[in-house]
């Protein structure tokens, strides 16, 4: 889920061992692709790696000061919160109920607010509005610092719109999930792979919330600590943590209004969204060269498309295209990028500076496979070792002639 882009982002660093490179290195031929496992932060899209600007665009000096103090309070009171104590382990049935309540609230509740994303020492502020239609969401996110970026999400998909240098670009995204909508619609099923504990009460953005620990049952996924609103169960804070309990990514509302209707200008803005035909950058996969013999428990393939790259690499596929597969257990996401191997390659491992994004690149038959995601090494390596060539692939039959 964590895309790093632009000159303000913190550059990922490699492990000192030989053969490891920074995540997103051009040695992998993927410098233009999303590095976030879910595609939530596409290239030139929202990025928690962008630094927090001193000003929030379009606000008066007084409003800037108020928002700054509110955001600073959220950072001090939430991001630096002490570990949970005396958490109550729930039964599988109660765990499923809690997870489903949180998921339903994030999609079905109307809300609008401003939240902060923190990844390492970098932060970004975004506004978010959700105006659900029945039981389905219709949300709008807008970056309040850096270049003007907006994301429109519905149950059927999402669009990214970037304004830069007077040019407006729109592209489709694979994922329609974002804070506070982090859990899948069928969140109760997560209880098969995660335990749930109820922690202490806290106060976020002026509202009371209950801390809910989502603890993985194995080494293939990382956990979350969510603070769910007392009345609505809407997540007011979420922290992704690794196996050692170290925060990897943190979200917290600085201000939030739950219920009611969105502002008129927000609704007008959403109604103007259109996807130009020429802006589509992905298309479904018709035939596949690679198959997956096994995946970590609970994971399945949830998306498979071909993406067009700005710098064609040539080879078996149409110039400039790569396959992008996404695997998930509903909470953890892994991306697989496949492109023709123009020359023999050795296996490479990479890791972002904060250790949140892990990556493996290896050759599988005629293809170069890059597996990456916000997940432990065990998950990335399990996907990598499960890749194998398909003997019935049209590409392989053609290459053998």
Out of 115-119, 163-167, 281-285, give the one with best mean pLDDT: 115-119
Token code pair at residue 96: 């499923």
> CA distances (Å), 17 to each of 28, 103, 269, in order?
17, 41, 49
Do the domains 26-34+281-400 and 61-271 sit in the same CATH topology, yes or no? no
Any residues with CB less than 8 A from the CB of 393 and at least 6 apart, and which?
287, 288, 289
Least confident of 60-74, 132-146, 162-176, 180-194: 60-74
What per-residue confidence (pLDDT) applies to 5?
33
Return the domain boundaries, the chain: 26-34+281-400, 61-271
pLDDT digits (tens, 9 = 90+) for 335-389: 999 999 988 988 888 887 667 899 999 999 999 999 999 999 999 999 999 999 9
Tell me the Ramachandran region of residue 273: left when phi exceeds 0, alpha when psi lies from -120 to 50, beta otherwise: beta
Encode burial over 193-204: b for 16+ CB neighbours within 10 A, e otherwise: bbbbbbbeebeb
Q: What CA–CA distance (Å, rounded) separates 345 from 328?
A: 27
What per-residue confidence (pLDDT) applies to 308?
76
Q: What is the dihedral of CA 303, 306, 307, 311, to 10 degrees?
A: 150
Higher-confidence residue: 242 or 284?
A: 242
Averaged pLDDT score across all residues of the chain: 77
Give percent of the chain with pLDDT exceeding 70.
66
Check whether 99 has a pLDDT greater than 50. Answer: yes
What per-residue confidence (pLDDT) applies to 299?
98
**Banded model confidence at residue 264, pLDDT cuts 50, 70, 90:** low
What per-residue confidence (pLDDT) applies to 310?
60
Q: Give Cα 305 to chain centroid, integer Å.
A: 17
Nearest Cα neighbor of 311 from 32, 105, 17 is: 32
Phi/psi at 97 (nearest 5 deg)?
Answer: -65, -45
CB count within 10 Å of CB 289 equals 21
Burial of residue 277 (number of CB atoms within 10 Å: 0-12, 13-18, 19+): exposed
- CATH code of the domain made up of 61-271: 2.50.20.10
pTM value is 0.75
Look at the block and give the residue holding tokens 């995946």. Answer: 295
Tell me the Ramachandran region of residue 298: left when phi exceeds 0, alpha when psi lies from -120 to 50, beta otherwise: left
Check whether 281 has a pLDDT greater than 60. Answer: no
> To which CATH superfamily is domain 26-34+281-400 assigned?
MucB/RseB, C-terminal domain (3.30.200.100)
Q: What CA–CA distance (Å, rounded) separates 300 from 46?
A: 26
pLDDT digits (tens, 9 = 90+) for 285-335: 766 789 999 999 999 999 999 887 665 444 444 556 889 999 999 999 999
What per-residue confidence (pLDDT) applies to 133?
84
């Amino acid at each position: 889920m964590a895309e790093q882009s632009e000159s303000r982002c913190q550059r990922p660093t490699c492990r000192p061992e030989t053969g490891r490179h920074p995540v997103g290195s051009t040695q992998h031929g993927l410098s233009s692709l999303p590095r976030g496992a879910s595609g939530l932060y596409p290239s030139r899209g929202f990025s928690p790696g962008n630094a927090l600007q001193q000003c929030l665009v379009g606000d008066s000096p007084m409003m800037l000061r108020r928002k700054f103090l509110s955001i600073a309070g959220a950072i001090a009171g939430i991001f630096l919160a002490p570990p949970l104590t005396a958490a109550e382990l729930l039964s599988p049935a109660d765990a499923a109920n809690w997870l489903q309540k949180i998921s339903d609230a994030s999609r079905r509740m109307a809300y609008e607010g401003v939240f902060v994303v923190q990844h390492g020492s970098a932060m970004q502020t975004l506004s978010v509005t959700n105006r659900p239609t029945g039981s389905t969401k219709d949300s709008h996110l807008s970056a309040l610092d850096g270049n003007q970026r907006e994301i429109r999400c519905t149950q059927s998909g999402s669009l990214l719109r970037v304004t830069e240098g007077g040019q407006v670009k729109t592209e489709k995204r694979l994922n329609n999930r974002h804070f506070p909508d982090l859990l899948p619609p069928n969140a109760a099923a997560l209880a098969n792979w995660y335990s749930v504990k109820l922690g202490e009460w806290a106060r976020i953005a002026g509202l009371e919330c209950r801390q809910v620990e989502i603890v993985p049952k194995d080494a293939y996924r990382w956990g979350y600590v969510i603070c769910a609103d007392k009345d609505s169960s809407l997540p007011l804070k979420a922290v992704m943590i690794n196996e050692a309990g170290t925060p990897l990514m943190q979200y917290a509302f600085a201000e939030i209004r739950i219920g009611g209707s969105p502002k008129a200008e927000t609704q007008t803005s959403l109604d103007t969204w259109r996807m130009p035909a020429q802006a589509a950058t992905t298309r479904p996969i018709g035939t596949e060269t690679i198959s997956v013999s096994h995946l970590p428990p609970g994971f399945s393939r949830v998306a498979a498309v071909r993406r067009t790259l700005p710098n064609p690499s040539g080879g078996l596929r149409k110039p400039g295209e790569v396959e992008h597969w996404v695997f998930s257990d509903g909470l953890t996401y892994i991306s697989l990028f496949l492109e023709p191997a123009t020359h023999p390659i050795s296996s490479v491992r990479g890791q972002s500076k904060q250790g949140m994004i892990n990556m493996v690149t290896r050759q599988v038959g005629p293809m170069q496979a890059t597996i990456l995601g916000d997940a432990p090494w065990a998950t990335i390596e399990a996907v990598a070792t499960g890749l194998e060539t398909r003997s019935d692939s049209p590409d392989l039959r053609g290459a053998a002639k």
